[in-house]
Chains A and B, each alone.
Chain A
Amino acid sequence: MRELASGIQLENRGSQVEFLDEELRNYIIAEAKTILQIRNGKPQLPKRLPKFFTHVRRIEDDDLKFLKKEIEDPLYLGNVRSGSKELKTKIHVNAREAIPHHILIPATTGRGKSNLVKVMLWELMDIENIGMLVLDPHDEYYGRNEKGLKDHPNQEKLRYYTPEISKVEGEAISLNINLRSIRPEHFDGIVEFTSAQKDAIKLYHNKFEENWIQNIIRGEKVENQEGTKEKVSPSTLSVLQRKFDNILGIYEEEGRLESRGGVFTTDAGDSTIKDIIKSLEDGEIVIIDTSRLMGEAELLVGSIIVGALFNKYQKYKAEGKLEEKPIIGIVIEEAPRVLGKEVIERQGHNIYSTIAREGRKFNIGLVAITQLVTLIPRTILANMNTKIILGNEMSQERSEIIASASQDLSDDNRAIASLDRGEAIVTSIFTKFAVPIKIPLFEEHVKDKISETKEKPPLLSPEDL
């Protein structure tokens, strides 16, 4: 309203006053910004403004025909949105390009992060030659008790690892990781050790090799060459034992090593890491249910797998075989746990931050999900070349997202704050402009997809012919 009411107490006197010219005066001011120019059906960055008094109207599907051109390995994200109105035009990014260049999904709670990731993974199930490692701390993607990836028709592409295999209907694999699979460097940047503890770990690893953790937990003595003096003080050993107990759930009882969570063991899971890596190299989607693990243990599991995978891919590149291998994506929730400024400064780089910086060269990318973008260093944010921005009420977070976006979103601060559940803005080096989208509700998306599949006529066998 342009004018201010004149200060008279008008509360509860509504029947005695009314706005004249209401439609002329109670309006919303819309600001226009040039984002794209379509010339001969091709999109171009605009160099000048439209002519004065040019007709203004809402965008329609016909205006977006240029988006419909075929792209390879299309990863569907949602439909184009005009305000709150959803258009029919679908938005895809080339998965083989976007994943190694990393995808960031920033949003506050309840804005539809998990739903978006579910939709993306569902779509990736249909794309060949892309392996996805999903560390799932809320055990929500497989769909143990509701719709999930387990309902996808292309089931052979899915591997689901969980410590609670007995409670799962369908094909699940027991998540057991043998302690012998763990090397000291897997803890880098994930668990903080003092220099005395680091020295002790090195000593045990040198002496006992793959059995180093078991021997720390058992409290085996490491002696110097004279065989007299202990090299690791009992207090350091005791702290290490406590840490491994807390993180891995491994402790000694009556001379036997016991596993509290059942994930880290000494008598099973020898091939788990190898199997997971093989699945990823076969372009499969591997979901690891880490809901029973402490945060550090979850990251450690990822660190073991990703570390081994990264080494392999480095080797493939050196051998010139990289292009034959699938693209690998790693879905990581609460990304600042491993990509945060403080974490990196305090504990040094970990395998996730290494992937964020160098993964693209080896066709490995992150799909990082976070509520707090401000905790992640600018250098890493700048490497995240596709951002799917969901609603965010925190002004500081929005500023950081805008500052690191691939397109100029400086006028979209309020728009980001007011994004409703399932509404997003996609900004990417692979799109010419930031695209507002509406992400479908996973359950409905699945229903549509399954009915689409069912509607297809059955394939005829040679006998039928």
Chain B
Amino acid sequence: MGVLEKIIKTLEKEVKRDIDSQYFSGGHGIRNSHDDYFKPLRDVEPHLMAFVDGGNNTILEAPRFSLQVNRVYFNLFKGKERQRPSSRIPEKIEFFSYLSVHDSENGEVGKVKIFPLSEEHRKYLPMEEDLTVTLPGPPDFYQRSRMFSVARRFAEWSFSTRIIEEELDDGDILVKDGSLDTSFEGERIYLHRILKAADKIGVNLAGLSKTCTLPTPTGNSLIASIRKLAKDKNYERWYHLLKPKEVKGHLIKIMIVKLHELSDYIFRLDLFGKDDEAEIISAIGENTVDPTFPGYPYGLIDADLNARVRMDEVKMYKASILSGLPEDVLEELKYHIRAVDAHEKLNRIAMIKDKKIR
């Protein structure tokens, strides 16, 4: 058997693994009686929904610092119709974040300074003192790049909280790209703050994850397992409840959803709110009819496009900053950058070669 045939057999075996259709305990297990937790979506009256996403990209990177450009954007839809914000809240906030490495008793920590493009936007951004993170040392040194996004992630929470407070009302929905999980120190404070704001006003807070790597207790893909179970159902659009999680007394429902009949995609959706979950998920589903990506909210597609920081923007900022530096500082900075940019250099060579081949 050739090596490719061996790989094919391995893949076949993997996808044909029996799903754990019985009771699973712990983690994100599927409940014992699936019928109780598979629910169809229905046609509902359109709800006002805010969709939020953020993006960041590296301008300069060296072993001891990193300069990022960040952008957080939101839009408003009532069902399928785009709405204009009624308050004076900006649709887009942009800022630079400078992460520098400091030595501490517990190892190295990254501290972030924030420079909003417009000073008026500072009120939507996280506090600098909250942005101190412990940096992974060897052997996880390369995971440090994950830390570059810390300012953007915190800004998504803080900006979303202000959107809930200033733009949304009881029964409205805020849909954030990604789960309602936290992964940085201090992030839970921001999550707690937004849950509190949503709870107070009666806004439903949802987090939609494009990717989900959650396993069942026996190690299968949770998404793949639920898809197999869903085949037995005749629902065109549905959700399947998983075990909820609690954050400081706030219960967050976790579920797998299929938001459009034609979609091949099912997603993890985290939901916090007092309203009927079927009503809220159905309302989000109303926004997923765009043929660009049926089954995924168009509001999030638009938010992704607007929040994305493109390379040409990065180049423009980089040129502006570097051209403003005195020559001796620039020379010194070059050696800092050279310590980590060799990979980028190789990529560039490969790209040139690739273009020539074409």
Contacts and interface: CB of A to CB of B under 8 A. Distances in A.
Given A18-B80, A20-B82, A8 B262 contact: yes
Contacts of A5: 291-292
Interface centre among B264, B291, B298 (most CB of A within 10 A): B291
Contact of B82 (A16, A19, A21): A21
B289 interface: yes
Contacts of B292: 1, 3-6, 19
A256 to B, nearest CB: 76
A19 B290 contact: yes
Contacts of B267: none
Contacts of A28: none
Contacts of B291: 5-6, 10, 17-19
A39 interface: no
Interface in B201-229: none
A213 B261 CA distance: 87
A58 interface: no
A218 B184 CA distance: 110
A17 B294 contact: yes
Contacts of B263: 8
B230 interface: no
A138 to B, nearest CB: 50
Contacts of B77: 20
Contacts of B302: 21
A6 B287 contact: no
Contacts of B287: 20
Nearest to A25: B292
Contacts of B147: none
A3 B293 CA distance: 9
Contacts of A21: 82, 298, 302
Contacts of A19: 290-292
B197 interface: no
A17 to B, nearest CB: 4
B262 A17 contact: yes
A4 B301 CA distance: 12
Contacts of B80: 18, 20
Contact of B293 (A1, A6, A18): A6
A13 interface: yes
A93 to B, nearest CB: 46
A21 to B, nearest CB: 6
Interface string B253-266: 00000001111100
Nearest to A3: B292
Contacts of A17: 262, 289-291, 294
A233 B263 CA distance: 88
A18 B262 contact: no
B112 to A, nearest CB: 33
Nearest to B81: A20
Nearest to B301: A3
Contacts of B264: 8
A10 to B, nearest CB: 5
Nearest to A6: B293
Contacts of A4: 292
Interface string A14-57: 00111111000000000000000000000000000000000000
Nearest to A23: B82
A4 B261 CA distance: 19
Interface in B45-92: 77, 80, 82
Nearest to B236: A16
Given A8-B264, A13-B262, A20 B294 contact: no
Contacts of B262: 8, 10, 13, 16-17
B40 to A, nearest CB: 16
B169 to A, nearest CB: 22
A19 B80 CA distance: 9
A17 B296 CA distance: 12
A71 to B, nearest CB: 49
B272 to A, nearest CB: 26
A20 B290 contact: yes
Nearest to A17: B291
B325 to A, nearest CB: 28
Nearest to B290: A20
Interface in B280-334: 287, 289-294, 298, 301-302
B189 to A, nearest CB: 35
Contact of A20 (B260, B261, B298): B298
Contacts of A8: 262-264, 294
B246 to A, nearest CB: 35
A190 B82 CA distance: 71
A18 B289 contact: yes
A16 B298 contact: no
B289 A16 contact: yes
Given A4-B292, A20-B77, 13 more contacts: A6-B294, A10-B294, A16-B260, A16-B261, A16-B262, A17-B291, A17-B294, A19-B290, A19-B292, A20-B287, A20-B290, A21-B298, A21-B302
22 contacts: A3-B292, A3-B301, A5-B291, A6-B291, A6-B292, A6-B294, A8-B263, A10-B262, A16-B261, A16-B262, A16-B294, A17-B294, A18-B290, A18-B291, A19-B290, A20-B77, A20-B80, A20-B82, A20-B287, A20-B289, A20-B290, A21-B302
Instruction: List the 6 closest pairs (A to B, CB-CB), nearest first.
Output: A17-B291, A3-B292, A20-B298, A20-B290, A6-B293, A5-B291
Interface of B: 77, 80, 82, 260-264, 287, 289-294, 298, 301-302
